Amino acid sequence: MPRRSSSRARSSARGWRATHALEVLVISSFLRGLSVRDVEAALEEAFETPVVSKSTVSRICADRRERYHVWCDRRLDEHDLVDLFLDAVYLKLRPDDAPAEGVLVAWGVTLAGGKVLLGLQVGSRVSYDDWLDFGRDLLARGARPPALLIADGAPGL
């Protein structure tokens, strides 16, 4: 049985510890399109022994989802923004042949020179409504207007 590597480790039904490294494997597999059962089977095949159960995989995914939602809802008023960079990137969010989806991104540079990822939201770079919704969310969470706004010509802005 592997040693517990951190106080955040969770015991699985089979006595293994869900360490950070194992959580990364589970999430990476899940993001590549494997089902919960496939993740369980792939890890069992790789380690030649049952490593995690379907319920453990589900719990790990639920925990990450909850942490993401907490991050998305966090207050932004603690950041003294000088610059605000707005951009959209297109990512393959699904493993099938679906087209890449737009993700709106807001980066801030603080008065102290630190970089802060302020927000992420699925949306189109050409959609005025998506950018408006994204901006309203940043303001609702307390983002202060920056001295300089930088965007690369997104038609929706």
Per DSSP, the residues of 89-123 read EEE--SSSSPPPEEEEEEEEEETTS-EEEEEEEE-
The domain segmentation of the chain, as residue ranges, is 10-73, 81-151
Dihedral over Cα of 69, 75, 76, 78: its sign? negative
8 Å CB contact between 143 and 76: yes
What residues contact 105, with CB distance under 8 A and at least 6 apart? Answer: 85, 86, 87, 88, 89, 117, 119, 120
8 Å CB contact between 9 and 71: no
Cα distance between residue 86 and residue 15, in whole Å: 46
Note the pLDDT of residue 69.
95
Note the pLDDT of residue 98.
78
Give the DSSP H/E element, type plus range, for residue 25.
helix 20-31
Note the pLDDT of residue 116.
97
Name the residue among 137, 136, 133, 120 with its Cα closest to residue 86. Answer: 120
Residue 94 CA, distance from chain mean position? 14
Q: What is the DSSP letter of 33?
A: T
Residue by residue, pLDDT tens for the chain (157 residues) are 444 444 343 444 444 455 888 888 888 887 778 888 888 888 888 888 888 888 888 888 899 899 999 999 999 999 999 999 999 999 887 767 778 889 999 999 999 999 999 999 999 988 999 999 999 999 999 999 999 999 987 777 7
Note the pLDDT of residue 42.
87
8 Å CB contact between 18 and 9: yes
pTM score above 0.75: no
